[in-house]
Amino acid sequence: MVPRCSRQTEDKSHAVARRGPLGYGWDTAKGVIKVDAGTPTTADPKAVADGLAKNFGGTVRSELSVVDGERGFQVQAPSQGAALSPRRGIVVFREGQVFLIMAGAVDGTDVSTALEHVRATWKWGR
């Protein structure tokens, strides 16, 4: 598990970790990182990325991301204003599972650096 994250096994979203505001409630969060994992409904990671982009109201970026040796697709979406909303994501398939590494933020909060840090330091359990 990612340090300083809470394990989210009770919700149906299959979230394996969520990093949120320290010392603040979720209703006042300016940004959040969430990782969901589960069995993909298709064998095509690009199709999953396209679906995530549609849900975010965004697009799949042309450049790929590498997450500890596994290629993934980047998704980005524009700000939705003052409400916390999805802004960026990475879709990675590994060992029959899909991993969605996602970042959300309110308008004026940049989550790119935080998501890039998670991607760059990610290590798969062996």
Q: What does the domain layout of the chain look like in residue ranges?
A: 31-121
Mean pLDDT in residue range 83-91? 93
Q: Give residue 58's pLDDT.
A: 96
Mean pLDDT in residue range 107-118? 92
Q: Give residue 5's pLDDT.
A: 37
Structure tokens at 39: 């069995």
Look up residue 3 and give its amino acid.
Answer: P
Residue 124 vs residue 7, higher pLDDT: 124
Please tell me the pTM assigned to this model.
0.81
Q: Give residue 8's pLDDT.
A: 43
CA–CA distances in Å: residue 31 to residues 15, 72, 95, 101, 112:
16, 22, 30, 14, 11
State which fold the 31-121 domain adopts.
Answer: Protein Transport Mog1p; Chain A (3.40.1000)
With a cut of 60, say whether residue 51 has pLDDT above it: yes
CA–CA distances in Å: residue 37 to residues 17, 113, 121:
9, 22, 18
**Total count of residues recorded for the chain:** 126
With a cut of 90, say whether residue 95 has pLDDT above it: yes
